[in-house]
Amino acid sequence: MAMLTRRKLQISILLVIGILILVNVLSDRLFFRLDFTADQRYSLSKATENILESLSDPVTVTAYFSEDLPPDVARVRQDFKDLLIEYSTYSGGQIVYEFINPNESQEEEMKAAQAGIQPIMINVRERDQMKQQRAYLGAVIQLGEQKEAIPFLQPGAAMEYALSTAIKKLAVKDKPKVAILQGHGEPSLAALSQLRTSLSVLYQVDQFEFNDSVKSIPTDYKTLLVIAPKDSVPPIQLSYIDDFINSGGRVLVALNTVDGNLSNAQGSALSTGFAEWLKGKGLDIEQSFIVDANCANVSVRQQQGPFVMNTPVSFPYLPIINAFTEHPITEGLEAVILPFASPINISPKDTSITYIPLATTSERSGIQPAPVYFDISKEWRPSDFNMPSLTVAVALEGKIDNNPDAKMVVFGDGDFAVNGEGQQAQQLQPDNVSMMTNAVDWLSDDTGLIELRTKGISARPIDPNLEDGTKTFLKYFNFILPLLLIMIYGIFRFQLRKKLRNKLMSVDYE
């Protein structure tokens, strides 16, 4: 009897070993993962999968990450490592990665600095004291002799977008081309420095101007950008833009129908021909100034005794836009300043066109018809803000002219992404540039990368508005529940084995 039992045990062990080997072989060939996270952090997008599938040469990712960091910062390292594992697995080993701790030696710190990875200073509590520590949270992507650095990966940032964009930038041989219209008083590329830098990651950005020999927009341009023209546009050139749309081109129009001049405190109407052209597409941009109680400030010089002080004063003609429709163009945006903007009225000309209002003013907004005098000292009344939620940006999709798959984006302001030149140049806040860049991506990039721009790692903290008693209950519930489940499982296993042992002992082997 003992010999039979030993033989069964040996057969069982061999079967278990065989099953484990078979499972390992199958898992290597048929890898899959179920992702139940709310932010889908362990699922690669279709855009990333397409980029990885197109790789013909291996890509090396050197991740420069410090160790022994506070948990909320150390999480970035683990999240990035998990993401690299997914990239490596899906690419069939074309993504090779290594992690280096630059804090280990001065030589490694120098290598990180030479690669474009700079440390940040973070606060660390040690023995009940706060001290600052140099932390590295960046990576270098290399394909052949080409390199692209991600200097800093912020906790909760869109890691997949940063990594996929860097890989695509290195792997793409012919960037899609976009054109910025010139010849009608539009800002030059030099005056669009931040926008140009942002677009140059994925696109070849050119200036384009009509002349006697150039009477059509080349079809190798994906998108035409019309940004803040000041002079009249001949109707024949507007017809050339229609031809571009009909041939499959996309168009972005950021239009000023009013002009604000703070140096002489005057605001006037502006006509270029584009407003009339847009009416044929079902959009009417008024020649009026939007005023909004939610606005930016201007600096005013005021005499206070013997001193001249610069005092910030709210200026409703500089509305801050916080209300955005859920759309790839506006995903993740928080605040965009639109200087001297005008409202857009949607008057559909055809049911085959879908109009999507992308952004609106606050609930306390209104309009001032041009011309106006900018009175900094004016006391604004509630009746001045009697037109809430004015539309300032619209996306069009559908049959525009004779193109059934056309796309357009229209903004009721042309200056929000313009830096200016020389002494007039100014640094723009990131969301201003991001909204324009997102719009170009939506029009030009068919890979879907735009949807990753704001795909971050979402935290799920306890609601701070919960009562203290509820917070305490949740805290101990999360601590005790796993222990209870383990104890219940242990008692169940004990009872099951006891029952089986009693059954075996009751068998008569005689």
Question: How far apart are the C-alpha atoms of 47 and 328, rounded to whole Å?
Answer: 14
pLDDT bin (cut points 50, 70, 90) of residue 157 is: low
Residue-wise pLDDT tens digits, 107-118:
888 988 998 898
Distance CA 177, CA 202 (A): 9
Q: What is the pLDDT of residue 305?
A: 64
- Of the candidate ranges 10-19, 141-150, 345-354, 395-404, the one whose mean pLDDT is the lowest: 10-19
pLDDT computed for residue 219 by the predictor: 92
What stretch of H or E contains 165?
helix 159-171
The whole-number pLDDT of residue 79 equals 87
Amino acid code (one letter) for 469: G
Which helix (H) or strand (E) segment holds residue 205: the answer is: strand 204-209
Q: What is the CATH classification number for the domain harbouring 331?
A: 3.40.50
Amino acid present at 126: E
Q: Are 76 and 136 contacting, i.e. CB atoms less than 8 angstroms apart?
A: no
In a domain, 326, yes or no: yes
Flag whether 88 is in a domain: yes
Provide the CATH number for the domain around residue 69: 3.40.30.10
**302 - beta bridge partners?**
309
Q: Which of 51-55, 128-132, 242-246, 284-288 has the lowest mean pLDDT?
A: 128-132
Indicate the residue among 142, 171, 200 that finishes a domain.
171
Q: What is the pLDDT of residues 184-241, one digit of tens each?
A: 999 999 999 999 998 988 899 999 999 988 889 999 999 999 999 999 999 999 999 9
Q: How confident is the model at residue 351 (pLDDT cuts 50, 70, 90)?
A: confident
Q: Where a domain ends, among 171, 192, 226? A: 171
Q: How confident is the model at residue 457 (pLDDT cuts 50, 70, 90)?
A: very low
d(CA 410, CA 253): 5
Tell the residue number behind the tokens 């140059």, with chain if given.
200
Backbone angles phi, psi at 174, to 5 degrees: -120, 105
Total of domains in the chain: 3
Read off the DSSP letter of residue 347.
-
421 and 472, same structural domain?
Answer: no
Instruction: Please report whether residue 300 resides in a domain.
Output: no
Confidence of residue 453 (pLDDT cuts 50, 70, 90): low
Same domain, 219 and 344: yes
Same domain, 198 and 161: no
247 with 356, same domain: the answer is yes
Supply the pLDDT for residue 58.
93
Between CA 23 and CA 29 the distance in angstroms is 10
Based on its alpha-carbon atoms, the radius of gyration of the chain, rounded to whole angstroms, reads 31
The predicted model gives 440-459 an average pLDDT of 68
**3-state DSSP call for residue 324?**
strand
Note whether 155 and 234 are same-domain residues.
no
How far apart are the C-alpha atoms of 454 and 430, rounded to whole Å?
13
Q: What pLDDT sits at residue 283?
A: 96
What is d(CA 152, CA 134) in angstroms, rounded to the nearest whole number? 13
- Claim to verify: residue 327 and residue 431 sit in the same structural domain: yes
Q: CB neighbours of 347 closer than 8 A, spacing ≥ 6?
A: 279, 282, 283, 284
Compute the average pLDDT of residues 413-442: 92
| Confidence band for 161, pLDDT divided at 50, 70 and 90 | confident
pLDDT digits (tens, 9 = 90+) for 44-70: 777 788 888 888 889 999 999 988 888
Same domain, 146 and 198: no
Residue 330: inside a domain: yes
How large is the greatest C-alpha to C-alpha distance in the chain, in angstroms?
117
Q: Do 281 and 363 fall into the same domain?
A: yes
Distances (CA, A) of 222 to 236, 246, 252: 21, 12, 11
> Do 167 and 200 reside in the same domain of the chain?
no
The whole-angstrom separation of Cα 8 and Cα 217 is 80
Instruction: With respect to residue 40, please indicate whether it lies within any of the assigned structural domains.
Output: no
Q: In the structure, what pLDDT confidence band is assigned to residue 27 with cuts at 50, 70 and 90?
A: low
Q: Which residue has the tokens 């990966």?
A: 153
- Three-state DSSP at 40 gives coil
Q: CB-based contacts of 240: which residues, under 8 Å, 6+ apart?
A: 210, 215, 216, 217
Q: Which of 124, 142, 171 is the last residue before a domain boundary? A: 171
Task: List pLDDT tens digits, range 287-297.
Answer: 999 999 999 99
Look at residue 414 and tell me if it is in a domain. Answer: yes
Residue 6 lies in a domain: no
Q: Are residues 201 and 144 part of one domain?
A: no
Q: Is the pLDDT higher at 451 or at 340?
A: 340
Instruction: Tell me: do 417 and 479 sit in the same domain.
Output: no
Q: Is residue 22 part of a domain?
A: no
Structural domain including 229 reads 182-295+316-370+382-444
237, 211 in Cβ contact below 8 A?
A: no
Q: Are 320 and 335 in contact (CB under 8 A)?
A: yes
Tens-digit pLDDT profile for residues 358-373 = 999 999 999 999 999 9
Residue 169 CA to chain centroid, in angstroms? 17
Average pLDDT in the 304-329 region? 86
Q: Kindly state the average pLDDT of the residues 306-323.
A: 86
- pLDDT of 495: 80
**Does 112 lie in the same domain as 208?**
no
Q: In the predicted model, is pLDDT for residue 393 greater than 90?
A: yes
Q: What is the mean pLDDT of the chain?
A: 85
User: Which of 119-133, 408-422, 428-442 comes out lowest in average pLDDT?
Assistant: 119-133
The more confident residue out of 200 and 435 is 435
